[in-house]
Structure 1
Amino acid sequence: MHTRFPPEPNAYLHIGHAKAIWINYGIALDFGGLFNLRFDDTNPLKEEQEFVDGIIEDVRWLGTDWGDRLCFASDYFEQMYEWAVDLIKKGKAFVCDLSAEEMGQMRGTLTTPGTESPWRDRSVEENLDLFARMRAGEFPDGARTLRAKIDMASPNIHMRDPVMYRIRHAEHHRQGDKWCIYPSYDWAHGNEDSIEGVTHSLCSLEYEIHRPLYDWFLDELGIYHPRQIEFPRLKMTHTVMSKRRFIELVKGGHVDGYDDPRMPTLIGMRRRGYTPEAIREFCRRIGLTKADSVIEVHVLDDCVREDLNKRALRVMGVINPLKVVLLNYPAEQIEQLDAINNPEDPDAGSRKVPFARELYIEQDDFREEPPPKFFRLAPGREVRLRYGYFIKCVDVVKDENGQIVELHCTYDPETRGGDAPDGRKVKGTLHWVAAPTALTAEVRLYDHLFMKADPDEMEEGESYISNLNPDSLKIGTCFVEPSVAGTVPGTRYQFERLGYFCVDQDSTPGQLRFNRTVTLRDSWAKTEKAANKPG
């Protein structure tokens, strides 16, 4: 078993590519086989070294191992050229002078046959001469192509004398200006697989109709013949999976780049805090079938939650702060409370969390007039502070507009880290941060990029851009416990009761910035379930 992942280095990889990578690498791994990372770098007009480097980083980050088999299609250009010459000598390929527009007009339709090129019957000698002169750079871009001579009446349009080589006077990221003719994907794809000894060419379903051409080229050349098998591309709700649309989103200023954490690119997901283990589990969970389907985005979110629950350190942070003053706590005292780093990981240990007279809690954890089943803080009510004490609200301070700005509470010194000695119970436990020692950080709350599950569900005259979620990013300030000081970009935390967060790459020693990776619960799935409920 020998598989490969053959990206074109003209864009960044996305979550759909992760599925393709893990199908190819995972199957090779299961059968003790080999896996190649091969760049299909046959179009110098769109390919850049930046994308080569980014793809290598992404594929390695996912946990794959290609050993010494980092391959480039451009390294096979000489062999492919010789094979093209062989087909010309066999009368199976010819040089055509039609323009791309003219070829399109003569190609025919699904119900009508195409028209043969007037240059289809050129002699072998003339074709060999012209093809050599194409390689030598005698002709301008678009002046001539090399086409396979198959069948212009074939019901499969891809078999209607497809283009094998185009003239492109352009600098190649790897070959420089050595070549000015470049192979088409259909011609190069099977050749590359054959050269590398690939046993199974696993690709997405849109290439199923290309398989007869893949087979034709290999059979006519009489070279080693891998087997091509197709699978569906990944389709996921609340996002798009299109290089063209990625470009539109970036150039239109709808996102802040290809690494924007709202994008389904692997570089964006990595920045957001997703782990390769979560993505691999997602690929395993969605399985592999021949049927086209759309995966709910909450399946991916669940995989991320489950993975981060096991590995992310717990800290306390407050995003929408409400100040609490403990009237009976010593004004200058700061004590250190013991806190567990991760209850799911016994080896994660514990840390010290400062506790002081003035604290911050979340605004949503207090109600002046609490509704039924609200068990958090309210006037006259007692709650527990996580790892700390029982506190009781005795007064509410408001500004001149009637807005609550501060709570006055008392604490019970007999309840540190445990229950009350007299046996009384509380129903609510709140997270908090001590005001004197809290660090101020920027927090970026990310949500789905599109409001609708299908971004293409739109009114007449609208585009998928109309379905962008205006609340996909909210930027605010949070207070967080000092244990995160000095942390490095990429470190993942669970902000207790709030969600999972990752230190962003643009953080500095003086300014921490956190990206919300995923919430603790999937509110979107519940909302959609309620919306789809009959009646």
Structure 2
Amino acid sequence: MTNETPAPEPRSLNFIEEIMEADGSSGKHQGRICTRFPPEPNGYLHIGHAKSICINFGLAAKYGGRTNLRFDDTNPVKEDIEYVDSIRDDVRWLGFDWAGEHYASDYFPFLYDYAEYLIGRGMAYVCDLNEEEIKEYRGNFFKAGRNSPYRDRSPEENLDLFRRMRAGEFPDGARTLRAKIDMQSPNMNMRDPLMYRIKRAHHHRTGDAWLIYPMYDFAHGVSDAIERITHSICTLEFEDHRPLYDWFLQQDVDGKFFSRPHPRQIEFARLNLTYTVMSKRRLLELVKEGIVKGWDDPRMPTISGLRRRGYTAASVRAFAEKVGVAKRDMVADVGLLEHCVREDLAGSAPRAMAVLRPLKVVIENMAEGEVHWLDVPNHPENEALGRRKVPFTREVYVEREDFQIEAPKKWFRLAPGAEVRLKNACLLRCTGVVQDAAGEVTELRCTWDPASLGGDAPDGRKVKGTLHWVSAAHALACEVRLYDRLFTAKDPMDVPEGEDWRHFLNPESMEVLPAARVEPSLAAARPGEAFQFERLGYFVADPDGGKGTPVFNRTVSLKDSWAKAEAK
């Protein structure tokens, strides 16, 4: 008989792993695996992208392959180098690195040449319909589309017009290049989709070299093929786009442009999160309207926001693993994400004491100037985190909510005549209350039992209540920001008729406590460093603290409703 914990049973393969293993067994790609993460640089990445990053990089690593980072930068109007830099930072922070960094703009010459090839084969044409007319001719799910009156132009005419589009002869929106597929198709994506539009816009990489830009649906699959991606893993909304991506590649009938086999697209369910908006457009509105304080606001579901809130890369990866890979769209409980960060920080975050709403306590039977330096472990179970010295003095601060003049039954905190334990310090009894003219409690008078220094009674008497505290003389003034969910509804987009999605914004999503106090050891806290504030939750030092007064953000409270629900 041994005390060893049995190894967990291996989990079964998900459907993407089954496909990749089958391809590996068949020799389809000669043992080569290459995935890619292809964000558009038009915003910051969010928790849904984090799941995609973990899947793409994780699967490639599992099967000995590589992952490319490719920026799908086909729309210069919405793109910015700021977003490119933030995406790089987020991927690295999650613990991944890419084999190659690529851009759709790298392939603009190739895409242009392939477009001319399709025109020459009669598979693409220049259309003069404007945006509204194209929409009208396209029909809808209940009405078949109609052919454009310009659909039957000759390849020679189309090629001439396309080259003149590139040369800048026509104004923006005057003409487009469209694929010639099937205006009767039940798949709307196959109804002669746009391939190029005229757009006089400065590109963050190519400058003003191009006056026409490829559409995302044309560039995306072609870029995969250029990079010889083996498994193109996408979210479910791209399932109906897959026939179009395949069609573009299949038109290379003589294999002049693309190697075989072509990339295989596999779709998985995108991640949705309760009490959260995941639309990049909505997140941009939150930023532009000043509802949040930027993309990295700790209330945002962006990776940079989660990082600033104090979430760890390990907790985000664990969350992605627990959510798993599904074939149908799902909504994950934000409580699971909170559980993952608690689980990670529980063993790694040093403990410290902070008082958010200070109430002064004067210990009348302790001499003024008397200081006891208590030797305290930084973690009750992790000796590797070391120990620290905490000063205990005549005047301390306790949490204002830990005192009541008229305490109810089973109140194990401070009240007139009640005895409590100051954690790691002593036993303390309240002997008096000081109030102002309005009746507000401003100070407590107490006595301590010197024999209990260190926190335990020498006579073995039981004291149920244990409070956190800080020395008034040594405490560090700081600002604490308590963050809550940004929305009050599980599904913020499910708004009542006539209401805006902002209807569910939580007015109490951030509470700033400018007069908090923390123990002096936190003076050395670096931005991003996490702590468990005793009895209060997990907190992280914010970069704003480098501007003067230290700032700490609450990552999550100590209460874990998800773990309790899971246990039930």
TM-score by length of 2: 0.90
Post-superposition offset of 1:370: 2.2
**Residue in 1 aligned with 2:162?**
131
- Mapped pair 1:19 → 2:51: yes
How far does residue 84 in structure 1 lie from its aligned partner after superposition?
1.1
Which position in structure 2 is the counterpart of 1:141?
Answer: 172
Instruction: Give the drift of 1:113.
Output: 1.3
Tell me if 1:209 matches 2:209: no
Shift of 1:429: 1.1
Please give the secondary structure, in 1, of the residue aligned with 2:390: strand
The aligned counterpart of 1:94 is: 125
Q: Which one of 89, 96, 121 corresponds to residue 64 of structure 1?
A: 96
Of 525, 536, 543 in structure 2, the residue corresponding to residue 505 of structure 1 is 543
- Mapped to 2, the partners of 1:441 and 1:36 lie a distance apart of 43
Residue aligned with 2:548, SS:
coil
**Paired position in structure 2 for 1:532:** none
> Cα offset for 1:383?
1.4
Between the aligned partners of 2:76 and 2:453, the Cα distance in structure 1 is 67
Identity %: 59
1:42 to 74, 77, 82: 74
SS at match of 1:437: coil
- Report deviation, 1:523: 6.5
3-state SS of 2:271 partner: coil
Task: Single out whichever of 455-464 and 8-17 deviates more from structure 2.
Answer: 455-464
Unaligned 5+ runs, structure 1: 530-535
Is 1:333 the counterpart of 2:364 in the alignment? no
Q: TM-score, normalised by structure 1?
A: 0.96
Q: How does 1:101-250 map to 2 (within 5 A)?
A: 101-222=132-253, 223=258, 224=260, 225-250=262-287
Question: What is the identity, as a one-letter code, of the residue corresponding to 2:61?
Answer: L
Taking the aligned partners of 1:264 and 1:232, their CA distance within structure 2 comes to: 18
Query: Would you say the 8 A contact 2:339–2:563 is kept in 1?
Result: no
Q: Tell me which residue corresponds to 2:457.
A: 420
Letter of the 1:145 partner, please give it.
Answer: T
Contact 1:167 1:180 in 2 (8 A): yes
What is the number of equivalent residue pairs in this alignment? 527
Q: Distance in 2 between matches of 1:307 and 1:468?
A: 29
Alignment gaps of 5+ in structure 2: 1-32
Deviations 1:100-156 (A, max 9, x none): 111111001112211111111111111111111112222211111111111111111
Alignment partner of 1:368 out of 405, 410, 413: 405
Hey, what's the Cα distance between the residues in 2 that align with 1:237 and 1:378? 40
Match of 2:508 in 1: 471
Q: Is the 8 A contact 2:478 2:549 kept in 1?
A: yes
Shift of 1:374: 2.0
1:386-401 paired onto structure 2 within 5 Å: 386-401=423-438
Which residue identity lines up with residue 332 of structure 1 in the other structure? G
Q: State which drifts further: 107-116 or 453-462.
A: 453-462
Q: Distance in 1 between matches of 2:418 and 2:459?
A: 17
Counterpart residue identity of residue 397, structure 1: V
Contact 1:271 / 1:490 at 8 angstroms: preserved in 2?
Answer: yes
The residue type equivalent to 1:412 in the other structure is D
Could you give the per-residue CA deviations for residues 266-318 of structure 1, whole angstroms, max 9, x where no partner exists?
11111111111110010001111112211111110111111111221211000
The amino acid across from 1:371 in the alignment is P
CA contact (8 A) 1:258 1:265 kept: yes
Equivalences for residues 315-330 of structure 1 within 5 A: 315-330=352-367
Output the CA distance in 2 between the equivalents of 1:310 and 1:131. 62
Greater Cα shift, 501-510 or 110-119: 501-510
Q: Could you tell me how far apart the structure 2 residues matched to 1:341 and 1:119 are? A: 74
Higher deviation after alignment, 435-444 or 450-459: 450-459
Match of 2:26 in 1: none
Give how far 1:509 is off.
Answer: 6.1
Q: CA RMSD in A?
A: 1.6
- The answer as to whether partners of 1:309 and 1:344 remain within 8 angstroms in 2 is no
Which moved further from structure 2: 179-188 or 222-231? 222-231
